[in-house]
Amino acid sequence: MSDKEFGGTDDLSLPKATVSKIITEILQPSPGVAFTKDARDLLIACCVEFITLISFQANEIAENETKKTIATEHIDKALRELGFPEYVHEVLASAGEHKDALKSREKKANKVGQSGLSDAELARQQEELFKSATAKFNQGPAS
């Protein structure tokens, strides 16, 4: 199964720096073990293929349920149907962690709304910060 079967392009990839970081974290306890650039590129291609496979299957499941959005349960079913039931627990745990992270991010975003300041006061404070930053910039580097 390849990208071409799904109407994709060869441009599908994962960030090399991110994959390299993951590899480094995994190999950290094994000194002297190295991962070649070709091996990293092959791993990236395999990951993209795996993601494409799971996405395609999850999309089929969602369409069969007449859903327009692929949900977590569709990924769960896709993993099981494709013979990867051992990944389900970890995937659902990661999805839960992601959901929790989004909730905390929403709370931070709502901080401005909870400040109790009017839009005019917030705009005034922002303008003061801009003026201060401009003045520091115009002074040039500190000697």
Ordered DSSP codes for 56-81: HHHHHHHHHTT-SS--HHHHHHHHHH
CA atoms of 102 and 95, how far apart (whole Å): 11
More confident residue, 64 or 23: 64
pLDDT mean over 66-78: 95
What HEC string does 75-140 produce?
HHHHHHHCCCHHHHHHHHHHHHHHHHHHHHHHHHHCCCHHHCCCHHHHHHHHHHHHHHHHHHHHHC
Taking the mean position of all CA atoms in its chain, how far away is CA 79?
19
- pTM of this structure: 0.63
Q: Which pLDDT score, from 0 to 100, does residue 93 have?
A: 95
In tens, the pLDDT along 81-118 reads 999 999 999 999 999 999 988 887 766 666 666 677 88
